[in-house]
Structure 1
Amino acid sequence: MTFSIIGRCAETGQLGIAISSSSIAVGARCPWLRPGVGAVSTQNITLPALGIHVLGQMELGLLPEQALATVPAYDSYSQFRQVTAIDHQGNTAFFSGSQTLGCHHAVAGEQCVGAGNMLADTAVVDALVKTFETTGGPLADRLIAAMQAALAAGGEAGPVHSAALKVVGDLSWPIVDLRVDWADEDPVGTLAQLWAAYRPQMQDYITRALDPTQAPSYGVPGDE
């Protein structure tokens, strides 16, 4: 049903999540990030509130492993959940309840953690983590590369239809927040195309927010 990779860039401190699912609009429910705190993916039979809860626990000072240990007390249906987390220092943890669907797997790597359920093979998650660890460049590039490697390793047991990429840095809002809410074919490929189009404009939109006097114009009506 879903596979995801959470990662941290050791050079910039950025945190990010890339995720794909057979369900519609996975980006609306599963990836949760808080600058200076961490990132959480709550998946399988999703309870979005878990993302907010786990981030809140980490903001109070708990390590990801400690924060995830609070999930069973917080959620009476925790056996149906799969949750991964990373904090702003790169510490990771994962939780897969006893009722996680189908072939499922979770792996913590260097500055990353990957997980999935209803997978074609456990090698899908291994490919997520290995590719993130061995790919250079900006965090979003590494997350996209990991997702593409996961698809090449088999992806989900069935077709995927939605995907999302979200990255936070020093600002209070996400610097990348891209979603493919539904595609009949290859939402991860469409997401990669979105990122390729957005990447050269990303800094311009940050500049617009911080100092409109320095913001470039794109020549659209009203944009002067």
Structure 2
Amino acid sequence: MTFSLVARCAETGMFGVAISSSSPAVAARCSHARAGVGAVASQNVTDPALGPMALDLMEGGMSAPNAVAEVRRRGKFIDYRQVLAVDAQGRAAIHSGTHALGIWTQAQAPDVAAGGNLLANDRVPQAMVDAFLGQAGYLGDRLIAALRAGLAAGGEAGPVHSAGMMLVDKVSWPVADLRCDWTEDCPVEEVATAWEVYKPQLDAYVQRALDPRAAPSYGVPGDE
């Protein structure tokens, strides 16, 4: 019930996850990323524990392919899961279990992996990878382009209701974690709009956490 993409920016080392689903709050359960380590999506009859497991394995020195292989060995009911991962060297890996729902497929290239289930057709993940690779610039912009491309290629077999985009970079928390947990409209465009608003402020929010004395004005009534 999901299509997603995990990616690394080769220039900055940032990682990101972009995801959408007919289920509510998909990003809260399925998106995982850790600065300097990698990004993982765990989906399809989701086991959220698989994301941190894969990240721990990569942080311990495993490549994404080896980490996904170990997740397959350790994970419960792994034939029902999809797991996508990319590591700090840009190596990508995907596991799609034989009990993945409906039309399911996957695509990958250096620095990026995409996969989905209950899809409208088997072209959706490749469309996402192509869109990501076809656009230069900020990782967040490329993730939004990939989400839009997946939706334009058909997306899920039915309407999607939630979406999310996560970015990590250098600090221990996500520098962006934007979500639409439920809408009857287009959740991808809801997240895209949130990104347009958040992107110009991203660096300021990080600065406020690291040293508020050097932070720019908050830009709210009463702030001087």
TM-score bracket for this pair, using the shorter chain length: over 0.9
Gaps of 5+ in 1: none
Q: Which residue of 1 aligns with 2:6?
A: 6
Deviation at 1:110, TM superposition (A): 2.8
Larger displacement relative to structure 2 (79-88 or 214-223): 214-223
**Sequence identity percentage:** 52
Distance in 2, Cα, partners of 1:132 & 1:107: 12
| Conserved? CA contact 1:107–1:129, under 8 Å | yes
2:19 equivalent to 1:19: yes
Map 1:83-162 to 2 at 5 A: 83-162=83-162
Q: Residue by residue, what CA displacement relative to the aligned partner does 1:58-98 show, whole Å, maximum 9, x if unpaired?
A: 11111111111122332230010000000011011000001
Deviation at 1:116, TM superposition (A): 0.5
Q: Which residue of 1 aligns with 2:76?
A: 76
| Conserved? CA contact 1:110–1:133, under 8 Å | no
Q: CA RMSD in A?
A: 1.1
SS of the residue corresponding to residue 70 of structure 1 reads helix
The code of the aligned residue for 2:185 comes to E
Deviation at 1:187, TM superposition (A): 0.1
Distance in 1, Cα, partners of 2:147 & 2:176: 16
Distance in 2, Cα, partners of 1:168 & 1:205: 13
Q: Which residue of 1 aligns with 2:202?
A: 202
Larger displacement relative to structure 2 (200-209 or 39-48): 200-209
Deviation at 1:223, TM superposition (A): 4.3
| Conserved? CA contact 1:17–1:165, under 8 Å | yes
Distance in 2, Cα, partners of 1:134 & 1:219: 35
The code of the aligned residue for 2:71 comes to V
Q: Which residue of 2 aligns with 1:47?
A: 47
The code of the aligned residue for 2:153 comes to A
Larger displacement relative to structure 2 (212-221 or 24-33): 212-221
The code of the aligned residue for 1:135 comes to Q
SS of the residue corresponding to residue 13 of structure 1 reads coil
Q: Which residue of 2 aligns with 1:63?
A: 63
Gaps of 5+ in 2: none
TM-score by length of 1: 0.97
Deviation at 1:222, TM superposition (A): 6.3
The code of the aligned residue for 1:94 comes to I
Q: Residue by residue, what CA displacement relative to the aligned partner does 1:112-139 show, whole Å, maximum 9, x if unpaired?
A: 0000000001111110000100101100
The code of the aligned residue for 2:31 comes to P
Distance in 1, Cα, partners of 2:178 & 2:223: 22
Deviation at 1:172, TM superposition (A): 1.2
TM-score by length of 2: 0.97
Larger displacement relative to structure 2 (206-215 or 162-171): 206-215
Map 1:175-190 to 2 at 5 A: 175-190=175-190
The code of the aligned residue for 1:53 comes to M
2:42 equivalent to 1:33: no
SS of the residue corresponding to residue 108 of structure 1 reads strand
Larger displacement relative to structure 2 (212-221 or 126-135): 212-221
Deviation at 1:221, TM superposition (A): 5.3
Distance in 1, Cα, partners of 2:205 & 2:39: 23
When the two structures are aligned, how many residues end up with a matched partner? 224
SS of the residue corresponding to residue 174 of structure 2 reads coil
